[in-house]
Amino acid sequence: METIQVVLDKKLLQATDRAALLTKRNRSALVRDALREHLRLLTVQSLEQRDRAGYSERPPAHDESALWESTAVWPNE
C-alpha cells in the first residue's frame, strides 16, 4: 500500500470519522472502500453509456424480442 495525503474540509472529515466509528473501521479503510465503490459506479455508468450509445445507433427491431418468446421460460404466478 501507498500512503497519500488527502485534504478534506472539517465537516467531511467529521462525517468520515462518524461513519468509520459506526461501521467499526478505521478512517483509511472507510475511505478506501468508498473510493472503490465510487470507481465501480463510474465503470458501470461508463458501460451503461456505451450500451445506450450503441442502442441509439442501432435500435432493436420491433420483432427482435419475439424470436425469444418461444424459448423463454416465464415463472408461474
pLDDT in tens, 42-74: 999 999 999 999 888 887 777 777 777 777 777
Does 21 map to a domain? yes
* d(C-alpha 48, C-alpha 41), whole Å: 10
Cell digits for 40? 465501480
**Is 80 exceeded by the pLDDT of residue 8?**
yes
Amino acid in the structure at residue 6: V
Does 3 map to a domain? no
* d(C-alpha 1, C-alpha 29), whole Å: 12
Please tell me the predicted confidence (pLDDT) of residue 77: 65
Amino acid in the structure at residue 45: Q
Does 48 map to a domain? yes
Please give the residue range of the domain that contains residue 25.
Answer: 10-56
Q: For the chain, how far is it from start to end, CA to CA, in angstroms?
A: 52
pTM: 0.69
